[in-house]
Each structure stands twice: as structure tokens, then as C-alpha cells.
Amino acid sequence: MELVLDNIRKNYNDKQVLKGVDFTFEKGKIYGLLGRNGAGKTSLFNCLSGETPMDSGGAFLRRNEISLPLSESEIGYVFSLPILPEFLTGYEFVKFYMDINRDKIQTGRTIEDYFNIISFEEEDRHRLIKGYSHGMKNKIQMLCFIITRPPLILLDEPLTSFDVVVALEIKKLLREMKQDHIIIFSTHILQLAADLCDELVILNNGVLQEIPADLLRSPEFEEKVISLLRDGNGHA
Amino acid sequence: MLRTLNTVMEVRGVSGANRLIYYFRGIPVLGKTMKDSVYSNWALKKTFTVIALILRILFAFSTRFAYLGLIIYLPVLMTAGDLPLTQQYDLYLHILVLLSFAVSAVSNAIILESKRDKYICVKLMRMPADKYMHATLSLKGISFFVYFVPAMMVFAGLFGAPLWHGILLALLLTLWRTAAEALHLLVFDRKGIVVVKQNALVWSVIGIGYALAFLPLYTGSAWLDMDTVLISLPAVLAVLLPGIIAVIYIARYPRFRNAVDAVTKIDDPLLDMSRMMKEANRKQVETKEQDISAEQLQPGQFTGKNGYAYLNAIFFSRHRRLLVQPIQRRLMIIAGLSAAGLLLQLTAPELFAQLIRYLIGGLPVFVIVMNFTSIGELVCKAMFFNCDLSLLRYGFYRERAAILSNFRIRLLRLSGLNLIPAAAICLALNLLIFLSGEGWSAAEALIFSGTVLGLSLFFSVHHLFMYYIFQPYSTELNMRNPFFTIVNSIITGVAVIALQFKGAPGQFALFVLLAAAAYTLIALVLVYRYSHRTFRVK
């Protein structure tokens, strides 16, 4: 399975944010999407998830030579600012989410099982989401894709809000999940990207650029990436 | 000081110009002609700044005319227009003294007011507080005088007083208010109290001051020979001396930094009107944690419900206070009016019978009554802010089937809620008419009730339809979609036209029910076809 991005363009008023994004992401890998503030990481994710329409181009999922346009139901999207209906409890939200997506769920797991996967405290499950911390809300969002297992998982700056223990758990979880999914992970924390991701992609000047795998493990990795981010056309 | 003033004016000018540009770009179609780059176009911005300044000056002169003319001159003319001019002048001066010299001295002091531009200049741009205050207060003092002179002269002239009275009055008022500013500063300095923020005090002064100001219009004459008292050497000296002392006190006041800090706290809602509006809007519909008891949060509360039914069951249960209170209020009003009607029947049967005859012929009025009885708009706002705003970010929630199933459940719930006051209205009306002894057949009662209930359903559909097709709210909960306003105005227009209807109630009922049914059908088809595209967060 592959995710093929074909010449995606997006303008906001006079500003070109995405200037023809072409890239192919493969199943079984965690991709780190690096970019400076305002480079368009969130815009790219919003275009992929259908939240904002692209001006031109498209995104396709290719399975065994058959390409189909990416549909909203094939995406799990974790927002950098977790957005959840605050009048529900965590438990109620997860139940509602499971009800709605019943056809996509592997049977056999209960709500409690899911909460245990993300080690969510028992007494917190029955409190209003309104009172949850940022990290707790983020965990609930993660749970959404753990439940429905969509082929494409987009994570917008997720781990920054977790404490070290939870971050490690989530990292483990992502690594366990990766063989069946395409996971793209946006961040501007280089260490996190280098540590967790199999591939690094840079979004700069509105286009995507791959960073060669050997560079990822090399000692001058950091300098190279920064020079790439700085001038955007440096060839590593 | 001039340099400081220049800087302050520049900051005000540029932010004024930016605001003009921002609002212009918000106008549909026309706004699109202006590109992002205008914000950096200095020449254009200078033009906007000058336009804004000219507008502001013209506005300032005209508000003085409006104030003296509408608030003081007009009431005097209307109640005492037949008195000799000198007596009218006394009344005019009496009101002016109480409102401008007394009330405004307490309520309108600017030395300790929370102001955006104070925050920007002193806190953000690090301008010395005393320089900022001296510059802005001098400008304020001089412009206050200048703006008032023409209006004061014109109205003095209208009462046959010499024109120099106007100039002297403007000067006295300026000095008096300067003294008041100094007093506000003194109170703050000694006691740490910001008088203009003592709402209870300010509003009492306003209430008492206005009552005293307009009282002579009822008694028929001013208590004093105002112009002789006011335009006399002792009075002028009594204002002049404190005024001069006040100017010196303010000029030499050493602790302006504290005075500015006290009123420019970052969280002061007065500094940011848009945030205040946003918060007020949100408060109106917010989920309140204290409304929900711990038992309500336990699982098993809504067993048997699944998916969207589950979601809506929880939503309506958790927002009960928000939804039930307005219904209760409506029921109370209906009960109150019915009780008043019964009382009227006992005390003044003649009047009561007349009222009932009007009611029987007044079925068209219920188009408007039922619009106000519907809680649709409030419910939509609450659904948007507490539920849809977040869930619409999820792909599954935006799918057509999901939107339609949600719409169906909500329409049933909303109609049910709206039918409660509608049924109460039917009951109250039929009871009153029945008791009045007017001829009232079962058929008429049926037509009447059918129309009221039909209208209630119609407005339930209407509000929800508007919400799903135009989704008028932005994240700040103010209306953003111009079409929403347009369609709403059309509905109001139709309601007003309906008021002119002169035929039999039966015809009217038929007309209303047919129109409502047609509208409902069109609305449902539109929602069915298009809501998955229109129902988005904008």
C-alpha cells in the first residue's frame, strides 16, 4: 500500500503555501515531516484529511496497482490542538466513536481494553473532557485511530504535549502499529524525528523533499537538516 | 510632548486604517478586490489614516450637537415649548449642569479608563506613562473644548442668549471636568479605588442624576434662575480656580505608571471588545460543569442508545439548564399574561371583551409571536459551540449519512421543545376566549390551535435548516454568513406582510399551513441534498 501525492497546490489569498507537492509514502514506515513554522505542515495535513479543499492535485491510495482517491474515512488525524466535544466524558466519546465506526472495528475488544492500551486512569474515564489536560485529550485522539485503524495516520505535533513516560508508551505503540499503516508525523523537534521515524521528509518552499536514509544516522545529520531548512534548495 | 502626541496619533491612525481595511475586505464581493498587500501599502494607508481622522473629527462635532440637541434641547422644547425663552433656557441649563457637570464627572472620567491604545503605547511600546498621559490628556482637554464650542453657541443662540454664553459654558465645562479628572486621580492615589469601575456607584449617580435633571420638565420650571447663577463672577471663579489647580496637580503628578498599570491588566475584558463579545457569546451557551452531577457521568445513564441518538441524548440532557430555562421563561410569560387576562375579565369585562375580539381577529400576529417563542436559534448556537465545532473536525462526522441522521434526531428534539410553549399558548388562548363568552366554535378553536402549532413546527424547521445550510457561526459565535441574514430578513418580511392579511381566520390558517408545509418540504430537500457540503466550520 502506498500513499501518492500528486501535485498538490494550495494558496491562501495571494500566498502560495503548497506549490505542487509530489511524494509517495509507503506502508510500514513512520515518516517524519519536518518544516519550519508556517511552512505548511498543517495545511498539507488539512488538505489530505479533507478539512480544507486543495486548489489542485490529489492524493491517492494505491493497493496492488489499483489507485483510488483517498477518502476521509481512511484517515486518522490527530490535531496539534486536541479538539473534542467537551460535554462528553472520555468514556462516552469513545463509546460514541465505536458506535459510529462499528463496521471498521476488530471485534473482541471492549472500551475498557482500549483505555488500558493508552494507560488512561480509571477515574478519569468518567469525567467531562472539559476538565482534561492537553495530554489526556491527545491520548483520546490517539485512541480514535487505535480503534478504527485507518490506513493513513496523520499526527500533527503530537508527542510534544506528553510527559516522558507517556511519550515513550506512545512511541512504542506507533512502532507496533506501523507495519499495517502509513504514519506521517509532523514536528519541528529534530531529535524526536530522528529517534522515532524511519524516513524524514522536509517541507520547504511549498514542496516536499526526502532526506536520504543514510543521512538520518550520520553524525552531521543535524547540520545538514538545518541547512536544508534554511535555504531550501541545498542538495544533501 | 508634541513628539509623544505625534507617536500616539500615529499608532491610533495606523490601527484605525488597518481596521478600516479589515472591515472593507470583509464585505462580500467588493472586499475581494483588495489584496493582502494593502496592509503594507504605506501611501494608501496614509490616505486611510487621513480619512479616518477626518471622519473622527466630523463625528466628534456632530455627537456634541446630537447630545445637546436630542438629550437636552428636544425634551425642553417638547415639554416646555410654550414657556418664554428665558425660562426654557433655565431648564436647558439645569439639565446641562446635572448631566454634563454632575453625572459625567463621575461616569465619564478618562484618566483611569481602560483603553486599548493606553495598553499598546505604555505596556507594549514602553512609552513613559507620564508622557503618554500628559500628551493624551492635553489633547483631550483642548479637543473637548473645541468640539463643544459650536454646539454650545448654537443652542444658546436658539434660546436667545448671547453667543459668548456658549463659549463660556464650553470653557467652564472643560475646566470643571478637568477638576473632576484630578479628583478621580486623587481618590485613586489615596485609596487605590478606580471610581469609574465602581459600577454600583456609577449607575446610582447616573440614575439619580438623570431623574433630577429631567424632574423640572414635569414641575414646569427650573428651581433657580440658572443663567444668572451660572454666568456670574462667583460661579466662574468657583470653577476656574479648581480647574487651574487640577491642571497643575495632573501636570505634576508623579505616579502615572501605577495609574496606567491599574487599568491595563492584560485580562481586562474592556481592553478587548471582540474578546469580551466572544466570551459573552460563549457564556450564553457554554456547558457548565456544575450543572452535571457525578452520577450523571457514570456509564449506564444512556443505555440502549447508540451512535447519534446516544450523542444527542447526552447533549440535550447535559444542556438541560440551557434549554429548559428559556422554555420555563416562556411558560411563565404565557401564564402571567393569561392571569392578567382573567383579572381583566373580573375587573373590566368591557375592555376584556374588546381585547378578545382583537385576539380572535389577530391570528396573523402569531407569525411573529411564534418566531419569538421558538428557541431554535439558541439551541443551534449551543449545538454549534459545544458539539459541532469540535466534532466537525472529524471526517466521519462530516459524512452525508451522519449529518442527516443527526439532523433528523435534532429536528425531532427541537420540535418537541418548541411544541411545549406552543401548546401552552393554544390552551391559554382557547380558555380565555371561551371564558369571554364570545362565539367560539370547535372548528374555530381547531383552526386557531392548528395554526399556532403549525407555526411552531415551521420555525423549528426554519432555524435548524438555516443552521445546516448556511452554518452562520464562526468560531467566535458571531454571524458570518450574509445569506443567513438575507433569508432571515425575507422570513421576517413575509411575517410582516402576513400582518396585513384581512381575510377569515380559516383562510389565513390554510395559507399559513400550506406555506409552512411547502417551506418545510423545500428545506428538508435542500438539507438532504446539500448539507454535507454546507455544514462545515468556517
Rounded Cα distance between B538 and A52, Å, is 10
Lowest mean pLDDT among A53-57, A109-113, B294-298: B294-298
Q: Stretch A194-205: mean pLDDT, rounded?
A: 86
**pLDDT > 90? residue A219:** no
Distance separating alpha carbons of residues B199 and B110, to the nearest angstrom = 15
Which residues pair with residue B177 across a beta bridge?
none
Burial of B64 (0-12, 13-18, 19+ CB in 10 A): buried
Phi/psi of residue B316, each to 5°?
A: -70, -30
Q: Decide: B421 and B480 in contact? Cβ < 8 Å.
A: no
Residues from chain B contacting residue A88 (CB–CB below 8 Å) = 311, 314
User: What confidence score (pLDDT) does residue B168 get?
Assistant: 93
DSSP B301-344: TTTT--HHHHHHHHHHHHTHHHHHHHHHHHHHHHHHHHHHHHHH
Within 8 A of A73 by CB-CB distance, chain B residues are 395-396, 399
A119 Cβ neighbours under 8 A, 6+ residues apart: A166, A169
- pLDDT > 80? residue B538: no
Which residues have C-beta within 8 Å of that of residue B419, sequence separation ≥ 6? B453, B456, B457
Q: Do B314 and A13 touch (CB under 8 A)?
A: no
Exposed, middle or buried: residue A207 (CB in 10 Å: 0-12, 13-18, 19+)? middle
Query: Chain B, 24-63: which have a CB under 8 Å from a chain A CB?
Result: 35-37
What's chain A's length in residues?
236
Question: Which of A179, A235, A175, A173 is closest to A204 using CA atoms?
Answer: A235
Distance CA B184, CA B165 (A): 28
Does residue B323 sit at the A interface (CB-CB below 8 Å)? no
Asked if residue B338 lies in contact with residue B330, where contact means CB atoms within 8 angstroms, the answer is no
Q: Are A159 and A195 in contact (CB under 8 A)?
A: no
> Looking at A164-173, B279-288, B320-329, B405-414, which range is the least confident one?
B279-288
Q: Is B295 on the interface with A (CB under 8 A)?
A: no
pLDDT confidence of residue B145: 95
Task: Pick B395's closest partner by Cβ from A15, A72, A88.
Answer: A72
Strand A182-187 and strand A152-156: the pairing is parallel
Contact in structure between B49 and B14 (CB atoms under 8 Å)? yes
How far apart are the C-alpha atoms of A157 and A45, rounded to whole Å? 11
Task: With beta carbons less than 8 A apart as the criterion, state whether B414 and B464 touch.
Answer: yes
Higher pLDDT residue, B395 or B60?
Answer: B60
Q: Which residue has the higher pLDDT, B101 or B490?
A: B101
Instruction: pLDDT band for B305, please (50, 70, 90 cuts).
Output: confident
pLDDT at B229 over 90: no
Among chain A, residues having any CB pair with chain B shorter than 8 Å are: 13-15, 49-51, 72-73, 75, 77, 79, 83-89, 91-92, 95-96, 99-101, 126-128, 130-131, 144
Whether the predicted pLDDT of B411 surpasses 60: yes
Region B453-461: mean pLDDT is 90
How far is residue B371's CA from residue B180's CA, in Å, rounded to a whole number?
48
Q: Does residue B403 sit at the A interface (CB-CB below 8 Å)?
A: no
Q: Which residues pair with B450 in a beta bridge?
A: none
> In this model, does residue A54 exceed pLDDT 70?
yes
Mean local confidence (pLDDT), A186-192: 80
Partners of A83 on chain B (C-beta within 8 Å) are: 389-390, 393
- Lowest mean pLDDT of A204-213, B113-122, B159-168, B262-271, name the range: B262-271
CB A99 within 8 A of CB A150: no
- Portion of chain A with pLDDT greater than 70, in percent: 96
Cβ separation A77–B395 shorter than 8 A: yes
- Output B211 or A169, whichever has higher pLDDT: B211
Backbone angles phi, psi at B40, to 5 degrees: -100, 5
- Closest chain B residue by Cα to residue A53: B533
Measured between alpha carbons, how far is residue B9 from residues A101, A123, B5, B416 in Å?
Answer: 59, 57, 6, 57
Rounded to whole angstroms, the Cα distance separating B335 from B341 reads 10
- Look up residue B323 and give its three cell numbers: 434549554
Q: Which of A13, A86, A96 sits opposite B36 (nearest CB)?
A: A13
Count of residues for chain B? 538
Residue of B nearest to A127 (CA): B297
Mean pLDDT, rounded, of chain A:
85
Contact check, Cβ <8 Å, B396/A77: no
Size of interface A-B (CB pairs under 8 A): 74
Instruction: Spell out which residues of chain B touch residue A100, defining contact as CB-CB under 8 Å.
Output: 307-308, 396, 402
How much is the pLDDT for A236? 39
Partner A contacted by B160 (CB < 8 A)? no
| H, E, C per residue of chain A | CEEEEEEEEEEECCEEEEEEEEEEEECCCEEEEECCCCCCHHHHHHHHHCCCCCCEEEEEEEECCEEEECCHHHEEEECCCCCCCCCCEHHHHHHHHHHHCHHHCCCCCCHHHHHHHCCCCHHHCCCEHHHCCHHHHHHHHHHHHHHHCCCEEEEECCHHHCCHHHHHHHHHHHHHHHHHCEEEEEECCHHHHHHHCCEEEEEECCEEEEECHHHHCCCCHHHHHHHHHHHCCCCC
Q: How confident is the model at residue B284, as a pLDDT? A: 67
CB contact under 8 A, B387 and A85: yes
Residues of chain A with Cβ-Cβ distance to B390 below 8 Å are: 83-86
How far apart CA A224 and CA A203 sit, in angstroms, is 15
Residue closest to B506 by CA, chosen among B432, B415, B441: B441
Q: Are A159 and A171 in contact (CB under 8 A)?
A: yes
Confidence of residue A234 (pLDDT cuts 50, 70, 90): very low
**B8-57 pLDDT, tens digit each:** 888 888 877 777 777 777 676 777 777 777 777 778 778 888 888 888 89
Cα–Cα distance measured from residue B72 to residue B99, given in angstroms and rounded to the nearest whole number: 9
What would the grid cell of residue B252 be?
505634576
Q: Do B399 and A73 touch (CB under 8 A)?
A: yes
User: Which positions in chain A touch B311 (Cβ < 8 Å)?
Assistant: 85, 88, 96
Mean pLDDT of B428-441: 84
β partners of residue A208: A203
Tell me the pLDDT of chain B averaged across its residues. Answer: 85
User: Considering just the CA atoms, what is the radius of gyration of chain A in Å?
Assistant: 18
Q: Which residue of B has its CA nearest to A88?
A: B314
pLDDT at A221: 77
Distance from CA of B389 to the nearest CA of A (A): 8
pLDDT tens digit string along A66-77?
999 998 888 888
The span from the CA of B302 to the CA of B314, in Å, is: 7
**Closest-CA distance of chain B to residue A188, Å:** 23
Query: What are the helix (H) ranges across B81-193?
Result: 85-96, 104-107, 116-118, 129-158, 163-191
So what's the ipTM on this one?
Answer: 0.80
Q: Identify which has the larger pLDDT, A171 or B405.
A: B405
Amino acid identity, residue B49?
Answer: T
Please, which pLDDT band fits residue B480 given cuts at 50, 70 and 90? Answer: low
**Residues of A with Cβ-Cβ distance to B387 under 8 angstroms:** 85, 87
Is the per-residue pLDDT at A7 higher than 70? yes
Q: What distances in angstroms separate CA B359 from CA B282, B341, B363, B448, B492, one per listed residue?
A: 38, 12, 7, 11, 21
pLDDT band of residue A235 (cuts 50, 70, 90) is very low
CB contact residues (below 8 A), chain B span 372-401, against chain A: 386-387, 389-391, 393-396, 398-399
Listed in sequence order, the residues at least 6 apart from B455 whose beta carbon sits closer than 8 Å to its beta carbon are B366, B367, B370, B422, B512, B516
Which region among B60-64, B302-306, B332-336 has the lowest average model confidence (pLDDT)?
B302-306
Query: For residue A63, what are the β-bridge partners?
Result: A66
C-alpha–C-alpha distance, residues B350 and A230, integer Å: 88
Locate B136 and state its grid cell. 493624551
Nearest-Cα distance to chain A for B171, in Å, is 52
Pick from B80-89, B122-131, B293-302: least confident = B293-302
Residues in B closer than 8 angstroms to A15, CB to CB, are: 36
Contact B395 A87 (CB under 8 A): no
A interface mutation test: which of B311, B322, B406, B533 has the most A CBs within 10 A?
B311
CA B30 centroid distance within chain? 27
Chain A hits for B396, CB-CB cut-off 8 Å, are 72-73, 100-101
Contact at CB, A86 and B398, closer than 8 angstroms: no
First-last CA distance in chain A: 28
Q: Which residues of chain A make contact with B37, given a CB cutoff of 8 A?
A: 14
Closest chain A C-alpha to B399 CA, distance in angstroms: 9
Residue B489 grid coordinates: 430578513
Beta bridge partners of A33: A186, A201
Query: A92 contacts in B (CB within 8 Å)?
Result: 299, 302, 310, 314
- What is the edge-to-edge ordering of all strands in the sheet holding A2-12? A15-26, A2-12, A56-63, A66-69
- Nearest CB partner across the interface for A87, out of B302, B387, B399: B387
Burial of A226 (0-12, 13-18, 19+ CB in 10 A): exposed
Which of helix, strand or coil describes residue B222?
A: coil
